[in-house]
A and B are shown apart, each in its own frame.
Chain A
Amino acid sequence: MKILVPVKRVVDYNVKIRVDKDTNSVDLNNIKMSMNPFDEIAVEEAIRIKEKGQCDEIVVVSLGPEQSKETIRNALAMGADRGILIKTEHSPEPLIVAKALAKLVQQDNYDLIILGKQSIDDDCNQTGQMLSALLNCSVGTYASKIDFDNDSIIITREIDGGLQTLKLSKPSVVTADLRLNVPRYASLPNIMKAKQKTIDELDPQDLGIDMNPKLVIKKVEEPPKRIGGGKVESIEELIDKLKNEAGVI
């Protein structure tokens, strides 16, 4: 079995972002970037499947600028086998990403594609579902458990208020939720080893993808500021305020 894991380079989850009013965008200068946390979970899951002997090769792919190679390299250090960078100036919208991924899957016949349920920058939560549409294959979103049963994939999904178990036929697209696993840290020897692993570069043109976005970001602004800082001196005062001022209890 071959597994494809798409990963995205995003602003690190610990960084407080700043909106640049002049450029109408989020200021990404000199900001710590990391692998999208949900994609990290996807990489970890693929490695665990391989460690159980159920997978022959894990390929990691990213769409983005040159620096996305660092993200791919990180996944290689965790234990993926090789990488592909589809070089783009910005990170394109999910439909375009899904189209590029679909081309790769069709060229190289992957049995399973595991990706994060959403990226923590644009919060779209679309790519996996879109990829499954373009491949006309099964999809299991928000997975908290992945198992195999002969030729099918058994996944447990986190749904509103509970868990759902599905049996998916291969090939399949599965998106990772928080509870799927806790990703490992790459060890120093593995970081060194990852430097020897190959990362192929592709141009979106090679895949015949239309890179024109269908959505335009007109404006990015800061959300209305929350005015906090109010204090109470005692539990008694707190209860009084909640009851009589805020009216919430």
Chain B
Amino acid sequence: MSVLVLAEHNNDKLNEATRKAITAACLISKPVHVIVVGSECENVAKVTSGISGVDKVMLADDPIYKNMLSETTSELLLDLIKDYDFLVAAASTNGKNILPRVAASIDVSQISEIISVIDDKTFQRPIYAGNAIATIETKTEKNVITIRTTAFETAPESDKKAEIERINPKTNPQLSVFIEEKVSSSERPELTSAGIIVSGGRGMQSGDNFKLLESVADKLGAAVGASRAAVDAGFVPNEYQVGQTGKVVAPELYIAVGISGAIQHLAGMKDSKVIVAINKDEEAPIFEVADYGLIADLFEAVPEFDKELEKLQK
């Protein structure tokens, strides 16, 4: 029973999510092969070949794969999967975009965002934004699986290098054309990969007041998030939203400021390792999930927190 893992990368660096997918792949079955699809991405293949658990790396290096477009990449994977029992990827934008297309083409259902491997036919995955956990058994021979990266460890370096095999590109179906990509230039980390998140809710009262949170975030190297209430009130753009219909996050530390803790917000952050809540309403449901709750006026507490962090830095 062999596993093929699709690597996530930007042609230059391997994305850490791939190491987590490799860990999950090793739990499913062995051997584990990794396919690096991209353009001028040989370095990514080299790094991948040194990861513990990887038995072989395949490299499809061609200009048509530069942006890992779904139609083009799935064409290649369709050809490769003939020799494998499992196709696995991190549930990152590319994994989520490409794998279902491959699954439907070989007439199998995909098992999305698994959080644990029970055996090679049985997996657990969150449903209802993590408010329930489903145990899923597959009835098909081949399986296509994406991995919730927050649930698996990072595969470490190995002392030996796996072989790298170059494979030929397939034809480009030319159904879509890449135009441009704008990677956000914010100094702050991205919400879904941030180790610390500072989020604000309706209690922030205005978009301007988010500056208080930004200042704290910058001292902690944190991302800034928001509840749906804050987004709906127009304080911050949609991309800040943490919650069931926004981003689901699980950082090491989540600081909820002026957030009451509506169900749909809790669904998006309750798997965080440590949760801090600052709110003046002691009845706020956010305190039920918080490890450290501070009942205080945020307009006094946050500037004080900011000052203390500054002292700490010195």
Interface residues of A (CB under 8 A from B): 11, 13-17, 19, 26, 37-38, 93-95, 98, 120-134, 136-142, 154, 157-169, 178-179, 213-223, 226, 228-236, 238-239, 241-243, 246, 248-249
Contacts and interface: CB of A to CB of B under 8 A. Distances in A.
B305 A13 contact: no
Contacts of A162: 181-184
Interface size class of chain B, counting residues whose CB lies under 8 Å from the partner chain: 35 or more
B97 A213 contact: no
Nearest to B107: A95
Contact of A123 (B127, B175, B253): B127
Contact of A94 (B70, B110, B140, B274): B110
A178 B110 contact: no
A232 B292 contact: yes
B122 A161 contact: no
Contact of B246 (A138, A178, A239): A178
Contact of A230 (B140, B175, B292): B292
A176 to B, nearest CB: 11
Interface in B266-306: 270, 273-276, 287-296, 301, 304-305
A229 B290 contact: yes
B1 interface: no
A132 to B, nearest CB: 6
Interface string B121-158: 01000111111111111111000000000000000000
Contacts of A178: 238, 241, 245-246
A233 B107 CA distance: 57
Contacts of A218: 122, 135-137
A214 to B, nearest CB: 4
A120 B129 contact: yes
A14 B264 contact: yes
Contacts of A167: 176-177, 179
B287 A123 contact: no
Nearest to A141: B97
Nearest to B130: A223
Contacts of B128: 11, 17, 26, 120-121, 123
A218 to B, nearest CB: 4
Contacts of B294: 231-235, 238
B303 to A, nearest CB: 9
Nearest to A152: B177
A13 B308 CA distance: 38
A-B pairs with the 8 shortest C-beta distances? A130-B104, A129-B100, A162-B183, A138-B175, A133-B104, A126-B100, A219-B135, A228-B289
Contacts of B111: 215
Nearest to B305: A235
Contacts of A246: 253, 273-274, 291-292
A141 B96 contact: yes
B70 A235 contact: no
B167 interface: no
Given A16-B131, A123-B112, A133-B103, 11 more contacts: A14-B263, A26-B128, A131-B104, A158-B93, A169-B175, A214-B108, A220-B132, A222-B131, A223-B130, A234-B294, A235-B294
A216 B126 CA distance: 15
Given A167-B177, A226-B270, A231 B292 contact: yes
A216 to B, nearest CB: 5
B6 to A, nearest CB: 14
A126 B177 contact: no
A11 B263 CA distance: 13
Nearest to B251: A248
A139 B133 contact: no
Given A120-B245, A121-B128, A217 B139 contact: no
A143 B177 CA distance: 15
Contact of A248 (B190, B237, B239, B252): B252
B127 to A, nearest CB: 5
Given A26-B128, A120-B245, A228-B288, A215 B139 contact: yes
B109 A215 contact: yes
Given A214-B138, A215-B136, A217-B134, A123 B126 contact: yes
Nearest to A139: B70
Contacts of B132: 17, 19, 26, 220-223
Interface string B176-197: 1111111110000010110010
Contact of A220 (B104, B134, B273, B288): B134
B85 interface: no
A244 to B, nearest CB: 12
Given A121-B128, A140-B176, A232-B292, A179 B239 contact: yes
B127 A37 contact: no
B214 interface: no
Contacts of B238: 178-179
A160 B138 CA distance: 29
B131 A17 contact: yes
B136 A120 contact: no
Contact of B263 (A16, A125, A221, A229): A16
Contacts of A137: 175
Contacts of A93: 109
